Structure 1
């Protein structure tokens, strides 16, 4: 009986330990080598994008539920631009889970604001200045909602401003609901 329990314990350790070791190896091989490039994106970013105000962060949370998955998608495309295989999705998943171990949440918000496509280029501050003539930190709640809403479908929303305004209103409502439920 002791022998059986010992083997059962060994099997349990292997079943639990193997995935943990695999994730750690993946982190060391596929993510850590790119951290300098990721930090360089933030270093070159507009200061308003690199450190977005709380209002923009709340809108991002209302839009995405948290920026990790979208940042992982954008980084996967930047780090592996020619990867069109199904493995890219696994890479995105692993990035979304492991990136918070290397970057704090404020840096992840900064990456979201810096790399988001805004219809003509990248960066939420670029859109805010072009659209409203002011930086992210000076936007009203509706302007902040519009700035974040554009990231969902920039080309479509730039063609149909009514649709953009409607999306911004629903984003503002979702943000307000999330804020009052805390």
Structure 2
């Protein structure tokens, strides 16, 4: 009965040796043997991405978002300073400090409304109209109190336009990230 006893370790070793010999017969001799274990690749955790692989596209989108946010902040700060200087020429200093919020207050509220509506996939036309009107008002006020040269018009009128363009890019990144992937693929297939 000892000869007929079932040895688990011996049987497992035999199964592994036959599986290894079968694998080696299927590999062409000109290709190096590479072992791919997809489960192991997926199970590895990366520090930055919470278990998913960070792609170059993700890094590029993050860089675009950071650059657009920095340019947006700089443009608004510069325009805010311009509008504050204009208000100082007409209003008392305590009131002039808060006056640029008359232009950029609606701009910020419209920006928040656009982001919320984009995430919820709602219509944003009214908020974009408010944002365009506030940006046009900032450009008009800045240009009206500058010297009459074309270069001065560009220098003081460009920051509100830059803020609007940077915000548009930020919303574009959010809106493309909110769509499900299958909807994006379906939309690409329907285009001629």
Fold-level similarity (TM above 0.5): no
Larger relative helix fraction: 1
* TM-score, normalisation: structure 2: 0.28
